Structure 1
């Protein structure tokens, strides 16, 4: 296999930015399925970029509002800048797993753009819990900075260890999920651990909570997906990011 060139990696990074956020891509992209697959490596780095935006935004909002109001405003910014991408995956996953009695029916529900009762309840509770946990954290800016990067390692772990189970012709996630290598997983994991170690100067529990947060969600959510779907979907990957953020915030 040919070694990826710096140019391809640069494009892969910006493709990851465009895939996960509404931030304009500042690079000319020669799109291919291979490049889309390579872009998965940069999910944690994109998470760090988002974390910087959230931490700075919170610092500004906290000058003119209470911490609770500032956190709610930052959460609103998050939902806008990401297009509620992972939250949509959470709602679709819970709707499908709660309302489907066969694998085929679950996958059918997951593709439905409408949101049901299960998904609505899960989404509301997840956002309420996230806002509350952030408000209870001593170093809010640190949680806002680190959680988006750390949580985006979880889908990479699921992609490496599980099979993709949906119609590839109708899914935009297939090129991302297809053939993600263990080598690139280790690079992404190394980045997350170095980041956590560096930020642990302000909160020692950050490095202690990083691996448990990722592994706990990957193991528990992954096992449940295997039993209910036989593998993962793009929506399930999005849900894993939300779950990992909440578990990490619980550690903090």
Structure 2
């Protein structure tokens, strides 16, 4: 009798586990990019993207578990099915679309170039940075643009380009004078400038290829459809605009 009871108990636990297996989505981000994704004094994930993905979770009836990863490892995390979703101010590109699927755009962006507060560097076009020591974050659209348009064309010497896993470390090196210019998205550029006593030399759309989207494992059409419907709903009811205003996005 005890054996039968034990078997039924184990069966019940297994059934419970299977029933709850799909109630949580694991979200990968790179929490070094305020105001989009960062951690507060308690270690909690905060920011525009973090609020947005939780709102999406509420819309689709899923709990959200957020994990911090290097930006350049996020797509691999989806491919290896370690995470279900990426939200990290990520732009869709043809190269990335070969590896993962993207949601509809939730935010249009501009890029920025950061320099030291007392710098006399004058930049009217992104091409003007070719004569300086230039930094961007590893695996970003900004890095690809620099590589394709400046390094590979010989305009920027390869040894004068510096790739950083964490953009906050890049900002500190600009402040210290180890690099001259940091190329990132404009909204986090404003936050980093305030935090590190830097200044924005240029805000531009010259290097922007797309707006920001969430990414999912390639072929996960069911989850992607739910996410797209949630984004549309958050746009329609004004929630997305309220989040943009909350974080003072451009």
User: TM exceeds 0.5?
Assistant: no
TM-score tier (shorter): under 0.3
Whichever of the two has the greater Rg, that structure is 2
Structure with more helix by fraction: 1
TM-score normalised by length of structure 2 = 0.26
Structure with more strand by fraction: 2
